[in-house]
């Protein structure tokens, strides 16, 4: 078993294509990697929680297929996805990953950072 850790806001579905004899590519499988980082969720106790990352277990076969996907590899390169053979607590893994993607909800902190960037220009 492999564990894919993600700091992407949305879940991503990576299609696996098979090229038919006619030359047409057809999706034969979809591999979903969970998202939800930086999105407020209600807990079972009624409180609120904002996860800093999420984990999706995948088989060796699915991982091999994902490693052939250009977008999946781009997500790895940009620091939004990392892979491990061990199920590590998400809090330890996300410290070395990109914290948020461009679709993450704005916070007071991110608004202040954007203001400072504009003031420097």
Three-state SS string across the chain, please?
CEEEEECCCCCEEEEEEEECCCCCEEEEEEEEECCCCCCCEECCCCCEECCCCEEEEECHHHHHHHCCCHHHHHHHHCCCEEEECCCCCHHHHHHHCCCCCCCCCCCHHHHHHHHHHHHHC
Tell me: pLDDT of 62 over 90.
yes
Tell me: pLDDT of 117 over 80.
no
Tell me: pLDDT of 99 over 90.
no
Average pLDDT, the chain: 88
**Percent of the chain at pLDDT exceeding 70:** 94
pLDDT at residue number 116:
77
Tell me: pLDDT of 84 over 80.
yes
């Amino acid at each position: 078993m492999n564990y894919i850790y993600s700091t992407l806001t949305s879940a991503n579905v990576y299609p696996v294509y098979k090229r038919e004899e006619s030359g047409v590519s057809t999706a034969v499988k979809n591999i979903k990697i969970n998202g939800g980082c930086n999105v407020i969720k209600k807990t079972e106790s009624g409180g609120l929680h904002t996860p800093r990352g999420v984990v999706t277990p995948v088989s060796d076969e699915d991982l091999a297929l994902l490693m052939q996907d250009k977008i999946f590899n781009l997500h790895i390169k940009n620091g939004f996805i990392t892979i491990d053979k061990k199920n590590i607590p998400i809090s330890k893994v996300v410290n070395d990953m990109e914290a948020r993607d461009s679709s993450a909800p704005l916070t007071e902190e991110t608004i202040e950072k954007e203001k400072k960037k504009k003031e420097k220009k």
